[in-house]
Structure 1
């Protein structure tokens, strides 16, 4: 008699029915259950973006309406692109564009490279105690409010009470009205931003430098490379991807110069060079109640930011560099 051997599946092995692949939502739920504590940790940030970033997007339609709080979004009449046409034909548009781009480009040229240079310098410090001390000192200004920084700026550069002008008087020189001189305004804003954020900006660059293989430095030393050569050929290439991604993100905010700093530093003497899109939106939208008009301005800024990010990202991909997506 011929006996046919049968192979029994091992205990716990998946059968044909249990081996059925999970659906997309099933895999997503499995990932959520597996990493539940990470999602709980990220929940405050997720809620912040949902409440303050994504939900307000639904109200951008008022840029195409003559919005009235009484009638609401659904009852306000539609006016199409009337507010955009009014904004682009306004004489203030070119002044706002000039000031915003000038401040952004100065920040891009001087402020953006500053944390990179400081990170390279800190990486060359051999004493860990000295290095940590410097890092702690340059981190502190980040936690100061712009109100306090404006107060310090006033105490330093006020024409009547500033320490700088008192020193000029003690040297028998004439005082300089820095805070009310339009020629110094853009430079003052850039210097404030560098002083406040240069230390905080080094965190991500120092993290990138920490991932460099020490053998690369050893090989460079064996080839006779000095410190400058090692920074140029080893450290900077390791930071290139991070620098490029941050640059792409920075280009997306080229029309976003920040409201608080400029509003505090602004005065009647420098309004012509200080008024930017953010302060203009506050003055027109909040103080004068033109909500639809100010929303149109904000939407214009967002569209320009998206175009800049997409363009920079495509250029990075075309030349074989890392990109956002």
Structure 2
């Protein structure tokens, strides 16, 4: 009898706690209702431009024809995926994407952290802000303009440096071996400043008392960086790493498309440019949709795995 009473009491308490939780959430929603109203345009935008187009995934399983549309094109199952795995150009683009992505992770991820740590050690406020602004400005320049500037300098035929050096030493646009370093260096120049600002902002939120306690314990500058600054921004570093891993195969279409040419397909053609060229150049819409779907699935898996690994180490993930 006592056992039944205890079970009934626990059930009653659980139900009451759930009801209390729902009421609490409802009160918060009503309290911040205007904030939620501000989210409505964003939700509508996502619905129209992100979720409704997902119906186009069906194209990957059809022999899509623009005259027949989605509803009347014949269903072919996994036919295009089988053709995709046997396509040599697809595997070339896939491995180029993986290699370039690894180079980007090894450079684009740690370099902004290092720059932010160096800026955090600068005590002259105006100088620090000036440097921060200078390295941040290239982020707002489009890849079309960056590529145009680069081509103006390094074009093997009409470039400024080609007119100075006649031995072809500046041929970086049609040289497959030089194309990947060009991508990495221009990407660092353009985007490293943006990530640096994020890390600098995270460092500004670290409690100054932690540094004071370290100084009192006799810690030097390097010791403070290693034991106070880096642990203070660890969550931000891990979240940025998860986001980088999640977009590792979709990173750099604008850049590559504006820089590359048929001469460097062997080392510069990535999945996004391959899909774009296959869909619009060869009119193989279903084939390109199959490649895009496969790429998206791989990115989703990488995002989930990296997020779980971060959580396994006791840190906060992105969801």
**Residue matched to 2:227:** 233
* Number of residue pairs the alignment of both structures matches: 304
Query: Deviations for 1:265-317, whole angstroms, at most 9, x for unmatched residues?
Result: 11222121111111111111122222211111111011101111111122222
* Contact 2:136–2:197 (8 Å) recurs in 1: no
The answer for the alignment partner of 1:199 in structure 2 is: 193
2:143 is matched with which residue?
A: 146
The residue number in structure 2 matching 1:178 is: 172
Distance in 2 between the 1:111 and 1:51 partners?
Answer: 32
Q: Is the 8 A contact 1:115 1:199 kept in 2?
A: yes
1:103–1:257 Cα contact (<8 Å) kept: no
Which of 18, 39, 43 aligns to 1:42? It is 39
User: Which of 260, 265, 271 matches 1:266?
Assistant: 260
Distance 1:46 1:114, change over 3 A: farther
Whether 1:124 and 2:121 are equivalent positions in the alignment is: yes
Question: How many angstroms apart in 2 are the aligned matches of 1:148 and 1:188?
Answer: 15
Aligned counterpart, 1:79: 76
Q: Give the unaligned 5+ runs of structure 2.
A: 1-15
Q: Deviations 1:212-234 (Å, cap 9, x if unpaired)?
A: 11111112222222222211111
SS at match of 1:194: helix
Q: Return the match for 2:202 from 205, 208, 213.
A: 208
- Please show how residues 4-83 of structure 1 align to structure 2 within 5 Å: 30-83=27-80
Superimposed CA distance per residue, residues 219-255 of structure 1 (whole angstroms, 9 cap, x where no aligned partner): 2222222222211111111111111111112111121
Deviates more, 1:197-206 or 1:275-284: 197-206
Deviates more, 1:62-71 or 1:37-46: 37-46
Distance 1:41-1:199 versus aligned 2 partners, 3 A rule: farther
* Contact 1:181 1:270 (8 Å CA) reproduced: yes
Distance 1:289 1:49, change over 3 A: same
Task: Find the aligned partners of 1:201 and 1:178 in 2 and give their Cα distance.
Answer: 27
Cα distance change of structure 1 residues 163 and 114 upon mapping to structure 2, 3 Å threshold: farther
Q: Tell me by how many angstroms 1:84 deviates.
A: 0.5
Name the residue aligned to 2:287. 293
Tell me which of 227, 251, 254 is aligned to 1:257: 251
Residue equivalent to 1:5: none
Tell me: CA distance 1:27–1:49, structure 2 relative to 1, closer, same or farther (3 Å): farther
Gaps of 5+ in 1: 1-18
Residues 1:104 and 2:101 aligned together: yes
Q: Which residue of 1 aligns with 2:11?
A: none
TM-superposed CA distance for 1:106, in Å, is 0.6
Contact 2:80 2:287 in 1 (8 A): yes
TM-score (normalised: structure 2): 0.87
Of 157-166 and 62-71, deviating more is 157-166
Report what 1:322 is aligned to: 316
Q: TM-score, normalised by structure 1?
A: 0.86
* Worse-matched range after superposition: 100-109 or 156-165: 156-165
Whole-Å separation in 2 of the counterparts to 1:297 and 1:319: 34
Task: Report the structure number with the largest CA radius of gyration.
Answer: 1
